[in-house]
A and B are shown apart, each in its own frame.
Chain A
Amino acid sequence: MSDKANGENRVTRPQSSAVDLAASIRNGSVSAVEVLSQYLDAIDAGDSEVRAFNTVLAENALQDATKIDEQVAAGNDPGPLAGVPVALKDNLCTNAIPTTCSSRVLERWKPPYDATVVTRLKQAGAIIVGKTNLDEFAMGSSTENSAFGPTRNPHNLERVPGGSSGGSAAAVAAGFAPVALGSDTGGSIRQPAALCGVVGLKPTYGGVSRYGLIAFASSLDQVGPLTNTVGDSALVYEVIGGHDRRDSTSIPEPPQPVVRCLEQGIEGMKVGVVAELSGSSLEGVEPEVLARTREAADALAAAGAKVETVSVPSSVAGLSAYYMIAPAEASSNLARYDGVRYGQRQPGPNTAAMMAATRTAGFGDEVKRRIMLGTYALSAGYWDAFYGQAQKVRTLMINQFDEVYQDFDVLLSPSSPCVAFPLGAKADPMTMYINDVCTVPSNLTGHPAISVPFGTGRDGLPVGVQVMGPLLGEIPMFRVARALEEIAR
């Protein structure tokens, strides 16, 4: 089933798209149980090496798949994702199923409700196969910050899968599930997608409900899919997107109709290559990654787009703004893990001591670092210099990007400055943070962005090219992503 069996240091297998799987299941040419069994077999054969999953829900999934087959047999349509196995990042709440955020503090916690995206997937006929590993509370770019141990990159088991949605990206790349959901606060869908050679989408902020997504940084967090194809990404986006009254930041509109626009081509579209994120001055960037990005731009031009280099000077400062704003919001959001209402509790002689003991034992080092950084950035005397300044630079950045989008339909850059790196290679926090330089701007602006696999770089590992769009610009973004996918084949 996997190449691992042949003695290779990788776990991958040929796969069908979710669109094709759902079509075959809906027309009865293959059963949902058969499809699911193939994926469960792949998990059995390979996940002891990859460690993409915190929890595999084989029994529940088989029951759900049986129900899908019964619906098809009865002549009913189970929905656009009929029988498609989906893996969920373990920071998305699942009713009565452990949701850990890969943290000791939530180990064994069972939420009393499903996240809205989970409800919508189920309504569309999808089968939930398991919960995937992540950097604790989604804080990291390698999945090494998981309290349960790292996930490995299916293309090379000595390398990281990226993060924080590393388990979800690895699950799709390894053929454990054709679709996974992740969350993206500073690149946590797009960077692992790039490092694992899959498609990763961060929709417009507010486009997909955050209800039931465990909060990291509320003004930046978005849920999105990781898939093998751009078409699958578009389909899943339409299923999970749209207004949700349970999320006060949800845009009161249906999702953008991206599926029917996918094949419209890119003739005459204006594509800007962001100079600051696509040149050799970019910190830590590998020449092969720059070369693939340039080739992508040239190929889009050859396919009829108008491609130009464009400067967005504030884009590089996004990293600093992000590493003030995200920890500040996290320090507030993670105050709720105090051992009172749910999760782990450590004993203490009084409430405050109990809370401190619980948090000290429950959080890993990266989470502690970010809580302290955020607490500091928000404290009296430093608020103006750090958090306040970052919020204003965020405004400048939004204005600059909005101005650039007057002249361009989409923007292009690498998704990550480097390909998958060896486990343990970036132990210094700041070195790790620099990985996010290309992805954080879209979180700060709230704009949509997608990573599409585009060739390989150093050591033959996958490279991802990022297509960014303006606010609610999913349609032009998906059209260009689809074109890039076609070119890369």
Chain B
Amino acid sequence: MAQNEPVDPGRLTRDEVAKVARLALLNLSDAELDTFTGQLEAVLDRAQDLQEFDVSGVAPTDHPYPLVNVLRDDVSEDWSGVGDAALAEAPESEDRMFKVPPALGEEL
């Protein structure tokens, strides 16, 4: 859907939910798709009340505390051992690297 097309919030289709699930790397059954579509639609319906607010000229808030960057002194720290500790919890590793199945070569 193009950015400037008028949105009809609250009208959520099953196809859209399927697309969103694909983007989020979730495999859903047909029954799950039906259930989630109805449930998500109810939330979006409810969120219509957000449209009642006049927000022209209002800046968005993405962080509630007026904080600017806090910088530390530029001194080196000892992080030895951290890499090994992190790798110890990996499902699979080899030569101090995380190992995954082929990224290419098999179509999803």
**Which residues of A are at the interface with B, using a C-beta cutoff of 8 A?**
109-113, 204-206, 219, 245, 248-252, 314, 316-317, 319-321, 323-324, 331, 338-345, 347-357, 359-360, 363, 368-369, 371-373, 375-376, 379-382, 384-386, 388-396, 398, 428-430, 433, 444-446, 471
Contact = CB atoms under 8 A, between A and B. Distances in A.
Interface in B16-67: 16-17, 20-21, 23-28, 36, 39-40, 42-44, 46-53, 55, 58-65, 67
Contact of A372 (B36, B49, B59, B62): B36
Given A381-B1, A389-B55, A391-B60, A369 B40 contact: yes
Contacts of B5: 381
B53 A252 contact: no
A319 B58 CA distance: 19
A109 B8 CA distance: 42
A277 to B, nearest CB: 15
B55 A386 contact: no
A339 B92 CA distance: 9
Given A317-B49, A341-B86, A379 B102 contact: no
Contacts of B9: 382, 385-386
Interface of B: 1-3, 5, 7, 9, 12, 16-17, 20-21, 23-28, 36, 39-40, 42-44, 46-53, 55, 58-65, 67, 69-70, 72, 82, 85-86, 88-92, 98, 100-106, 108
A352 B60 CA distance: 34
B108 A369 contact: no
A252 B25 CA distance: 38
B17 A372 contact: yes
B95 to A, nearest CB: 15
A367 to B, nearest CB: 10
B88 to A, nearest CB: 7
Contact of B50 (A112, A219, A351, A389): A389
Contacts of A331: 24
Given A371-B26, A391-B61, A393-B55, A252 B90 contact: no
A343 B88 CA distance: 11
Contacts, number: 201
Contacts of B91: 339-340, 342-345
Nearest to B57: A392
A372 B22 CA distance: 9
Contacts of B49: 316-317, 320
Given A339-B91, A381-B1, A433 B43 contact: yes
Contacts of B103: 350-352
B58 to A, nearest CB: 4
A112 B82 contact: yes
Given A112-B85, A112-B86, A379-B20, A348 B101 contact: yes
Nearest to B108: A352
A355 B28 CA distance: 14
A386 B65 contact: no
A375 B50 contact: no
